[in-house]
Amino acid sequence: MDNLPPENYSTDDGFRAGCKWREYGTHQEAHFLHGGLHIFDNGSSIEKHAFSETGTSIVDLVRANLAQGRFPLFVSEPSAEKKRQRIEHNPYLNYCFRALRAIRGTFFIYGHSLGENDKHIFDQLKSSAVSRYFVSIFGDENTEANTRVKANAQAYLGSPFAEVEFYDAESVHVWA
């Protein structure tokens, strides 16, 4: 039973006691696809820093790790191919990346530019069993940026098996 999330977790992110991640036995629902400033690869395991575990702010924990020459697990490469290579090189990131293919049903995308540099993610999603995508559009849908988002969404995600629809980002209060 140690591989189940504690009862007070609202979402399982795959990290367990001592905030260490392990692939086997996880019921992971949350995936940090490009890592994060709070996640570190110490060479033998992937660790997540959490304020609730230490009482120390994430900023202070990151600073302490940087002072020791330890860097966050964070994907910031400029192209989709370079990002994919970095992701495939790390067990945690690769697990999250592969999990995209297991998604089925409806998928919501909120606040994303759907740029070419994240095409590796859209390729994974397109290989999944998602049948309907809802993509947010912010502001006037006819702006150059929104026209590009809509065209990329159709090109990257649309297929005879998957429908792409758009919604007004301001109609959803995700942070409320």
| Residue 158 within a domain | yes
pTM for the predicted model, two decimal places: 0.77
| Residue 7 within a domain | no
Domain of 73 in residue numbering reads as 15-96
The string of pLDDT tens digits covering residues 62-73 is 899 899 888 899
- Indicate if the pLDDT at residue 167 is higher than 80: yes
Asked whether the CA dihedral 97, 101, 103, 107 is positive or negative, the reply is positive
Number of domains, the chain? 2
Listed in order, strand segments (DSSP E) in 23-126 are 35-41, 46-48, 72-74, 104-109
The string of pLDDT tens digits covering residues 85-98 is 999 999 889 989 99
- Among 96, 116, 149, identify where a domain stops: 96
Task: Calculate mean pLDDT across residues 124-152.
Answer: 95
If DSSP codes are grouped into helix, strand and coil, which group holds residue 135? strand
What distance lies between CA 137 and its chain's CA centroid? 19
Residues 36 and 62 reside in one and the same domain: yes
- Among 52, 77, 96, identify where a domain stops: 96
- Indicate if the pLDDT at residue 125 is higher than 60: yes
